[in-house]
A and B are shown apart, each in its own frame.
Chain A
């Protein structure tokens, strides 16, 4: 790190980026962050005048797929941009430093930029057994999280692990894996779920923080509205097939070849909020549904527990993996029908006297009933 912090534009100049490329980048990032054209000036101004945002990126219980996704962000400029334009001072998987130097870099940032640094967290934090399931440099993830969160400007929870626990928190959750927003108090936490999240969504979220110096609009589950306000289903190119009632029944049928809707083979598109249908993956090449596989709902909480993936209704809790609510319902319906039949039969025995009396009474002529 240089003594006097360079602005992002200055930094770009040092690296030989032309003004034209820089502006192009600004436009692209504005688009990625879901910012409209009229606000493009604000993006350019921010990147022109602001120093790089100090960032620390933690890796707890995770598989690094979020980092992988991020550094593979399709637009060539994005990967370096976000890694260059922010000052990524600490990240276990990408930093050159190790051991003592890495820890020193982390603490230097935390003290020098107290209250100003952005904290990115990848992975959930184990709370079971005093948090021993995830330790870095001899300290538990819980300790590190609390220390770093205390002076952070904002926290971004990368991926499903950090935002809702993902596979670590799946039943029976042996390590007590807990998402970040449940552990941190008094700091804004932005959830960017997905396993992994789309690179452009991650970049867009950081750009928003960088540009406007405040957190983006969030929905009820703490996700940026710009990327998570619509269901995969709403933006799916196969949606007309859904409305037309044209469904794939099994993966090898004619309907699958025709590219019909994957709703019946378990597609979670209708219950999943993400931008896969719009931004897509790998430079906009494709996304799961386009490749013929239903969405598994990886950006939704508990998606591992809502299986099986190829079944539209989840297994009903407590009845084994193959039993859906419909199976239970049909069984209960059958039991009810048997109960009704049995009741109807016993009625004719037990209430026989009462019914007979009623019939006998009615056979008397009117007025004869007085005794």
Chain B
């Protein structure tokens, strides 16, 4: 067994890192405010309605975060064509046979832990990339349904573009219902995502947690890897 030589690889460029953390913050804010909007606390008070506006504020924050989330996401889609090889769109959509094979390998090695040997991907592994692609679809769904509902109370041009989703889904109620249900995808995704980052850092020691801060990963040199 040889000790691996480590080389530094610049994986996540600054725009990707900024996108990641803006996105994380937006999702946190959106989930918390979204949950409150769906299930507000009932305050027992004799105050006049005109003296408080907390629910309005929660909704306002939700809408602001939604706009930030949307434009951040649009930027990320653009960066999928402009960024480095680890940020490109083909990292997310498995078009090659080797990517499908890697998905199977990741399932065997990391998820089912049926095999013990480590895997070699530097950026996203193929399964992670594909999962992010599915989460992008969830982003699109939340933007469509969210802005679709928002259009009814807005004069802005952007939400109006999504108005058609409401008749398509059969009314505001259905749109609201699915928008709310999809929130749980984000919660479950975050749980698994955070856990797996810890897992990979712990097992592989490539500095995957810090890579989203500084952009660098530490990879065993080829040829000397076990």
| A, B bound | yes
Whether B170 sits at the interface, judged by CB under 8 Å, is yes
B163 → chain A closest CB, angstroms:
7
Q: Which residues from 157 to 199 on chain B have a C-beta closer than 8 Å to any C-beta of chain A?
A: 163-164, 166-167, 170-174, 176-177, 180-181, 183-184, 187-188, 191-192, 195, 199
9-residue interface stretch from A8-16, A81-89, A312-320: A312-320
Give the residues in chain A near B40, CB-CB below 8 Å. 245, 247, 263-264
Sample of 13 more A-B contacts, CB < 8 Å, known A243-B59, A245-B58, A333-B187: A220-B163, A240-B49, A244-B52, A303-B173, A314-B173, A326-B180, A326-B184, A329-B187, A336-B191, A336-B192, A347-B202, A364-B3, A369-B2
Q: List 18 A-B contacts (CB under 8 A).
A: A244-B54, A246-B49, A246-B52, A248-B42, A264-B40, A264-B42, A271-B171, A272-B172, A306-B173, A312-B39, A313-B38, A325-B181, A332-B184, A333-B188, A333-B191, A336-B188, A343-B113, A357-B226
Bound: A231/B46 CA distance, A: 27
Is B203 an interface position by the 8 A CB rule? yes
A151 in contact (CB, < 8 A): no
Whether A244 lies near B51 (C-beta < 8 A) is yes
Which size bracket describes the interface of A in this complex? 35 or more
Counting from the closest, the 10 A-B pairs by CB-CB distance are A369-B3, A245-B55, A329-B184, A249-B42, A271-B172, A243-B56, A361-B3, A240-B49, A325-B181, A220-B167
Residues of A contacting B95 in the complex (Cβ-Cβ under 8 angstroms): none
How many residues of chain B are within 8 Å of chain A by beta carbon?
Answer: 56
Find chain B residues with CB under 8 A from A347 CB. 113, 199, 202-203
B114–chain A nearest beta-carbon distance, Å: 9
**B113 CB contact (under 8 Å) in A336, A346, A355, A370:** A346
Q: Are A244 and B116 in contact (CB under 8 A)?
A: no
CB B206 to nearest CB in A, in angstroms, measures 10
* Residue of chain B at shortest CB distance from A357: B1
Across-interface contacts of B226 in A (CB, < 8 A): 357
Measured in the bound complex, the distance between the Cα atoms of B178 and A329 in whole Å is: 12
A344–B191 alpha-carbon span in the complex (Å): 13
- A contact residues around B111 at 8 Å (CB): 343
Within 8 A of B (CB), among A217-238: 220-221, 231, 234
B44: interface (CB < 8 Å) = yes
Give the docked Cα–Cα distance between A300 and B184 (Å).
26
Nearest residue in A to B35 (C-beta to C-beta)? A326
Contact partners of A354 in chain B: CB under 8 A:
116, 118, 203
When the two chains form their complex, are residues B203 and A351 in contact, meaning their CB atoms are under 8 A apart? yes
Report if A25 contacts B (CB, 8 A): no
Query: A254–B46 Cα gap in the complex (Å)?
Result: 9
Given the contacts A243-B56, A368-B3, A369-B5, A337 and B172 also touching, CB distance less than 8 Å = no
A367, B4: Cα distance in complex, Å: 11
Instruction: Give which listed residue, B42, B53, B113, contacts A247 with CB less than 8 A.
Output: B42
Say yes or no: A343-B195 contact (C-beta < 8 A), given A244-B51, A354-B203. yes
CB of A341 to closest CB in B, whole Å: 9
Cβ of B47 within 8 Å of any chain A Cβ, yes or no, is: yes
CB distance from B167 to the nearest CB of A (A): 4
List residues of chain B with CB within 8 A of the CB of A264. Answer: 39-40, 42
Q: Are B173 and A353 in contact (CB under 8 A)?
A: no
Flag whether A328 is at the interface (Cβ < 8 A). Answer: yes
If A245-B52, A258-B46, A346-B113 touch, does A340 touch B38 (CB 8 Å cutoff)?
no
Can you list, as one digit per residue, whether each of B17-45 has a CB less than 8 Å from chain A (1) or not (0)? 00000000000000000000011111111
Known: A231-B152, A246-B47. A326 touches B39 (CB 8 A): yes
Known: A312-B38, A347-B113. A246 touches B45 (CB 8 A): yes
A359 to chain B, nearest CB (A): 9
- Tell me, rounded to whole Å, the shortest Cβ–Cβ distance linking A288 to chain B: 16
Which of B45, B50, B118 has its CB near the most chain A CB atoms (within 10 A)? Answer: B45
User: In whole Å, how far is A220's beta carbon from the nearest beta carbon of chain B?
Assistant: 4
Q: Is A255 a contact of B187 with CB atoms below 8 Å?
A: no
Flag if A313 contacts B177 (CB, 8 Å): yes
Q: Does B199 lie within 8 Å of A302, measured CB to CB?
A: no
A94 to B58, CA, bound (A): 52
Are the CB atoms of B3 and A300 closer together than 8 Å? no
Nearest residue in B to A249 (C-beta to C-beta)?
B42
Q: Which of A233-275 contact B (CB under 8 A)?
A: 234, 240-249, 253-255, 258, 260, 263-264, 268, 270-273
